[in-house]
A and B are shown apart, each in its own frame.
Chain A
């Protein structure tokens, strides 16, 4: 897994609640058998009009392609468990997703793929939406080790929560399967003791 320590970037704002994984990547694009290339169809039906032309009103088409932080409304990633949603966001180039509230499965999927997701207070998120609607070029820094998220102009400075295990995995680029394989003896013992 790719390591994550610090990241400086502008924000891509998506002030919509309950963005489900069908919007992030529609089911008809889930037919690939590898993990690559899903970014091309990220938010497909919002990025393109039904006639196939680009929807220039949609933020991904009007915002800087270099932005690596996605800021979204509450209950982001609800619905289907498809990990393709996390792959698509990562493949497109985002490395951080912030919302006031994430769906559980999406959150796990993101963290399992080196995509840092964390919650901030809804009022603060609305304040950031407002701020960047006036100044879209403002830079923000995410510092995982310090668990800090702040704007370089100093107007926003917040701590965020992440559990120690996920934090370590992201900082070191550790892989969950490697971890589980390393405790195989414990698993065998559990199977024996519980008669499985």
Chain B
């Protein structure tokens, strides 16, 4: 019997297996940031051991950094201490750090791919659930806890139970106005926020194959939002073309050799999955979430339903109460207070281009606060080179500096209590964007257009 892409990469990395227990999995690339690593370094230090393979770990500061005046010391004391701790730990253990002020600094899942650190066939982990993003390159990439960060620092391995595999196919032509964010919100709305738990997903089908790397990353990024450990897409010419000139990607003959291997990284025709789901691209419309988990999503012009799969009446109603909305209402034309374009889901140059295209020559609605937070210094530089920053600023948007920002509101970028934010991020949980904040998740195109109109708007009306 054939093997899945997941099986092939997994088997390449199993050092050993414990009977009726987990496998010992070797990790090729380990990414760390300031929030989930300090306690792991404490563990290493108290054991009086060194980091085993410091060259396989790369660090950046992203979660709690300010998005304005990054050249100044961080004002908020606890955030500053956490970032200083990361700097000290990296220095002590010889780990490469792209900290604040560095030309490569940015959201960990934006910089890995754009620097060519992320490559097909690798195992990649990070103390962050959106590590699934890197699966867009055909790598096994997933989020881990701090105890597991300590395992990787000390032995370059973690203990993992092998997940089940799921194949999700999207076939056909996408409708106009539909972006990769809509594809993933659509999938999650179909299978719920827990429909992928226990699985590692492979996305395939003709609609996926045509997507750019940025768009593939958006899809893999949100795999965790259906509970899946990760998501991956087989590498192809689009992948190789993206990687070709990236700083740390292999070059010349080395690259040719790698591509030969990477070409073997696809699921065999007779591979067996634990679950297969197929969707028609034509059925996907611009999507928006209405509730407090990413599974609570609808087509943008649909009415808010009266129930959702895998949700009891009690939990469903609690969610609508929190959001201040009712079953039967439409979100389309609902007034919004904030627009956030950013996060590891949608802060890449392609996302900023899409938003700028819609915004160009227009002005945001006066009652909307609109923030654009580029995913990295590289994205910021590219946006400035292309004049996108001017488009945003002229339209009345704040164009800020890189970081996770209002996606999780660890820094000053918070949505006030009761306010509605149309956000390109990945989570609409209660209080995620600040205590009492209310989040609608959608694509950068929907966010940009809604910032101009001042209410939830359908991109198809604009096209």
A contact set with B: CB distance below 8 Å: 15-18, 20, 22-23, 26-28, 30-35, 45, 50, 73-75, 78-84, 86, 101-105, 108-109, 112-113, 163-166, 176-177, 179-181, 183-184, 186-187, 190-191, 194, 196
Contacts and interface: CB of A to CB of B under 8 A. Distances in A.
Interface in B391-436: 408-410, 417, 427, 429-432, 435-436
Contacts of B225: 79
Nearest to A193: B15
Contact of A181 (B12, B154, B163): B154
A187 B21 contact: no
Given A17-B312, A113-B147, A165-B22, A75 B155 contact: no
Contacts of B26: 187, 190-191, 194, 196
Contacts of B146: 83-84, 109
A35 B39 contact: yes
Contacts of B197: 75, 78, 101-104
Given A15-B314, A74-B310, A81-B143, A180 B16 contact: no
A187 B85 CA distance: 29
Contacts of A166: 21
Nearest to B195: A75
Contact of B21 (A16, A18, A79, A164): A164
A33 B311 CA distance: 36
Given A20-B293, A50-B417, A50-B435, A187 B311 contact: no
29 contacts: A18-B194, A18-B311, A27-B408, A31-B35, A33-B42, A73-B312, A78-B193, A81-B128, A81-B129, A82-B35, A82-B145, A83-B36, A83-B39, A83-B146, A102-B197, A103-B197, A104-B227, A109-B145, A163-B20, A176-B151, A176-B159, A177-B154, A179-B159, A180-B155, A181-B47, A181-B154, A183-B24, A187-B157, A191-B26
Interface string B1-38: 00000000000100110111110101010000001101
Contacts of A184: 155
Q: Chain B interface: which size bin? A: 35 or more
A29 to B, nearest CB: 10
A196 B315 CA distance: 49
Interface stretch (B74-82, B95-103, B378-386): B74-82
Interface string B297-322: 00000000000001110110010000
Nearest to B142: A105
A181 B39 CA distance: 18
A180 B24 contact: yes
B15 A105 contact: no
A18 B315 contact: yes
B127 interface: yes
Nearest to B432: A22
Contact of A180 (B154, B409, B430): B154
Contacts, number: 188
A182 to B, nearest CB: 10
B56 to A, nearest CB: 9
Contacts of A163: 20-22, 161
Contacts of B20: 163-165
8 closest A-B pairs by CB: A165-B21, A83-B145, A31-B78, A109-B145, A81-B143, A112-B147, A33-B38, A75-B194
Interface of B: 12, 15-16, 18-22, 24, 26, 28, 35-36, 38-39, 42-43, 47, 49, 63-64, 78-79, 81-82, 85, 127-129, 142-148, 150-151, 154-157, 159, 161, 163, 193-194, 197-198, 224-225, 227, 229, 293, 295, 310-312, 314-315, 318, 408-410, 417, 427, 429-432, 435-436
B145 A86 contact: yes
B163 to A, nearest CB: 7
Contacts of A109: 145-147
A160 to B, nearest CB: 15
A105 B127 CA distance: 10
Contacts of A165: 18, 20-22, 159
Given A23-B430, A187-B155, A190-B15, A78 B293 contact: yes
A57 to B, nearest CB: 13
A45 B314 contact: no
B227 A103 contact: yes
A27 B79 CA distance: 12
A104 B145 CA distance: 11
A15 B145 CA distance: 25
A118 B42 CA distance: 29
B145 A177 contact: no
A27 to B, nearest CB: 4
A79 B197 CA distance: 11
A108 B21 contact: no
Contact of B79 (A16, A31, A103): A31
A165 B18 CA distance: 8
A105 B227 CA distance: 9
Given A78-B293, A86-B145, A104-B229, A186 B16 contact: yes
A31 B150 contact: no
A1 to B, nearest CB: 9
Contacts of B145: 81-83, 86, 105, 108-109, 112
B129 A80 contact: yes
A191 B49 CA distance: 19
Among A27, A84, A179, A194, the most chain B Cβ lie within 10 Å of the Cβ of A27
B217 to A, nearest CB: 18
Given A79-B427, A104-B198, A194 B435 contact: no
Contacts of A50: 417, 435-436
